[in-house]
Chains A and B, each alone.
Chain A
Amino acid sequence: MKKIMHPYDITHETDMVEPLDYNRRSRLKDVDRSFKAEITNIIRLTDMEKLFQIRMVNDDDWKRFSFLPGQFVMLELPGYGEIPISFSSSPSIKSTIELCIRRAGKVTEALHKAKRGAIVGLRGPFGTYFPMEQMKGNNILLIAGGLGLAPLRAPISFVIENRADFQNVYILYGAKNPSQLLFDYQYDQWNRIDDITLEVIVEEPDKNWIGPVGMITKLLDDITVPADETYAIVCGPPIMFKFVCNRLNAMGIPMQRMFVSLERRMHCGIGKCCRCNIGSSYTCIDGPVFDFWTVMNLKEAI
């Protein structure tokens, strides 16, 4: 007998047959498919944070993969779960991507036990990015508090690689105490670059600390920049960027030239699960990078 209704197989759609690329946002694809990737290197940063260097197993996937500073990826640990993590490395490095991850929950706990060579999954990239092109020709303030240096390291790397395109560059970093400082092995390298000022401040110094002590806003006391030729990127806990951005605003920098990166719980990364909603925005598609004016106008953002 002739079938009255034929099964519709979505996997035969032309979009679905194309190689997977999450940058093609309007195209139909296996939205849950993770690119298989290998942990090639694990660098211990502090007791709580490790830097994971990861590379996709399939070369074709890897060649198609590209991201921008500020975007994030969904990192899959089969059997444990999937978590959103910001890129911590420069997009121009073609050998690996780097993800700086704090041991904070079930998945990250498992990840911290993983060994080099472990196979994980990557889904992405997702979200908005810092508008680095738009910032070119200006002074730039790169400000991070605590774990905020992880996402900030991507624009820092971009600025260093394209040093000629920017005027004065300031990297300001604050942490609770010296043992929590991330990427401390890179400070000397950043500081030696012409016209890059690096300042690190801690709230609770130990006996070996010789740098400044206090809140991150203190570092702004010594900085004078022409307000109309300056952009700022601020990453850190909400309470920190609220103080920093208000301070920058008082210095005359327009709120639309300050960019922050927000964090929320996420289960999909593609604007479906609603877990990351802030007011009427999705952190995963309207963010995670927002300008400060938008953040001020979002309900419950800070």
Chain B
Amino acid sequence: MLYKTIDKQDFKDLIDIHLRDVECIGPQQVATNAKGKPVYQFLPLNAFDDMTLHYDTTEYSAKTYFLPYREVMSTFHFTDHDWTQEINYQKHPRVIIGLHPCDINGLLKLDKVFAKEFHPNPYYLSRRGNTLIIGIDCQKPCEGGFCASVGSDTVTHGFDLFLTDIGDRYFVKVGTDRAFNAINKVNVRDISEEDRKLYLAKRNQFEASFTKAVHIENLPNLLDIEFESDVWKKWGDKCLSCGSCAMVCPTCYCYGVTENMSMDFTKSEKTKQLYSCNLYDFAQVAGGHNFRPGRDTRLKYRYYHQHRGFVDTFGQPMCVGCNRCGRVCLAGINPTDVIHDIQMEHGR
């Protein structure tokens, strides 16, 4: 890995150069919540100062820029008794600034599903290839965040540039050659011994300030043994089956496909829409049979997929510990509580 430092003003210049040419996305304050805390979202920028780089967390993850909530996969055009299928991939370049390690680790997990050897997905890869990612380290752990417990508080790849605030300048990890070429358009310096020390001190301070910890090592085994546990019923009874958790999750990628005919019957759009395994009809088949009719079975399945199924396939859990699902849940279901409950059941 190449390390550099860049003054904050020079970083602003770098973004300004990009703002003139391509769409730039960054964390912006959009509201204030009931507790008086600012609410941030990743949104397109008009100017550098639109964004707040020292934000704590965004309500939604940045996955929507790679897996949009709604995406037209193809369009069928009808003529007499025939049709043609038109497929377009997103191909306009984009810069996303300010992704935290959880979001970048989320993308790396999505890469395993969508970018690797089994039916690699051109919709996703096209967006990935067109996006320059500039990540940034968190100032301090966010509310309820347990990323360190699942190894998602650091990143070593999956970004183009990764910044850590060390006072008046950023300590920069350069991940790709295109990023290397980009930063050379402004003033960058090689790191000094002092930069290195400042960076490590910052990391140490960050790692020491976590208040939440979850042990996930035993979950693949435990989730299997506790499949019939009453704990699922307890949490399932609270669950409203609204799907908010999947919507804000950086790694939830389940989807449904629908086809919508135009009003004049000349074309039909085949649209992919992100879904949630907590929604009632997720596993319902033609004829009406539902393989997971109960709220508890659906809630359980989400945990089973994240901490057992994904581990079986890819050797690591799907969860990045951002606690977005915990914060957004209308019924107050928090992933750390559910996991602790399952582990308590085990300890009984």
The chain A residues found within 8 Å of chain B, CB to CB, are 1, 3-11, 16, 25-34, 36, 78-83, 104-108, 117-119, 121, 263-265, 267-268, 270-275, 277-281, 285, 299-300
Q: Are A7 and B130 in contact (CB under 8 A)?
A: yes
Partner of B282, one of A263, A271, A275: A275
Which single member of A8, A81, A108, A271 contacts B258 (CB below 8 Å)?
A81
Check if B270 is an interface residue, CB within 8 A of chain A: yes
- Cα A285 to Cα B113 with chains together (Å): 13
- Scan residues 112-131 of chain B and give those whose CB is less than 8 A from a CB of chain A: 113-114, 117-123, 125-126, 129-130
Q: What 6 pairs across the A-B complex have the smallest Cβ distances?
A: A105-B286, A280-B309, A5-B93, A78-B76, A270-B119, A274-B254
- Pick from A29, A117, A121: contact of B122, CB below 8 A: A29
Q: Give the residues in chain A near B258, CB-CB below 8 Å.
A: 81
Q: Are B313 and A280 closer than 8 Å at their CB atoms?
A: yes
Q: Inside 8 A of B282's CB, which chain A residues have their CB?
A: 265, 275
Q: Which of B178, B259, B286 contacts A79 (CB 8 A)?
A: B259
Task: Identify whether the interface residues of A are mostly helix, strand, loop, or mixed.
Answer: loop
A80 touching B259 by the CB < 8 A rule? yes
CA distance A29 to B87 in the complex (A): 12
Does chain A have a CB within 8 A of B200?
Answer: no
Hey, which chain A residues are within 8 Å of B255, CB to CB? 267-268, 272-274
Residue of B nearest to A15 (CB): B120
Which residue on chain A has the smallest CB distance to residue B257? Answer: A267
CB-based contact A108/B78 at 8 Å: no
Q: Bound state CA distance, A265 and B178, in angstroms?
A: 42
**With an 8 A cutoff between CB atoms, is B73 at the interface?**
yes
**A273 shortest CB reach to chain B, Å:** 5
Of chain A, the residue at the smallest CB distance from B14 is A4
Supply 10 further A-B pairs (C-beta < 8 A) apart from A9-B89, A33-B87, A275-B283: A4-B21, A5-B95, A10-B122, A27-B120, A29-B122, A81-B258, A119-B81, A271-B113, A272-B113, A277-B305
B121 touches A31 (CB 8 A): yes
Selected contact of B89 from candidates A11, A25, A78, A264, CB within 8 Å: A11
Q: Which B residues are within 8 Å of any A CB, using their own CB?
A: 17-18, 20-22, 73-74, 76, 78, 81-83, 85, 87, 89, 91-93, 95, 113-114, 117-123, 125-126, 129-130, 132, 178, 182, 224, 227, 253-259, 261, 265, 268, 270, 275, 277, 282-287, 291-292, 297, 301, 304-305, 308-310, 312-313
Q: How far in angstroms is the closest Cβ of chain A from B171?
A: 24
15 A-B pairs with CB atoms under 8 Å apart are A4-B17, A4-B21, A8-B93, A9-B91, A26-B118, A32-B123, A32-B270, A264-B283, A268-B255, A272-B114, A272-B255, A274-B277, A275-B254, A275-B282, A280-B304
B268: A residues at CB distance < 8 A: 78-79
Q: Contacts A10-B125, A119-B82, A299-B224 given; indicate if A79 touches B261 (C-beta within 8 A).
A: yes
Considering the chains assembled together, what is the distance between the CA atoms of A1 and B185 in angstroms?
14
Q: Which residue of A lies closest to B117 (CB)?
A: A26
CB distance from A157 to the nearest CB of B (A): 26
Write out the residue numbers on chain B whose beta carbons fall within 8 Å of the beta carbon of A28. 120, 122, 125
Contact B129 A273 (CB under 8 A): no
Q: Contacts of B259 on A, CB cut-off 8 Å?
A: 78-82
- Choice from B73, B92, B257, B287 contacting A105 with Cβ under 8 Å: B287
- Return chain B residues, CB-CB under 8 Å to A29: 119, 122
Please name all residues of chain A whose beta carbon is closer than 8 Å to the beta carbon of B305 when the two chains form the complex.
274, 277, 280
Cα–Cα, bound, A79→B85 (Å) = 11
Q: Which residues of A have CB within 8 Å of B95? A: 5
CA distance A299 to B225 in the complex (A): 11
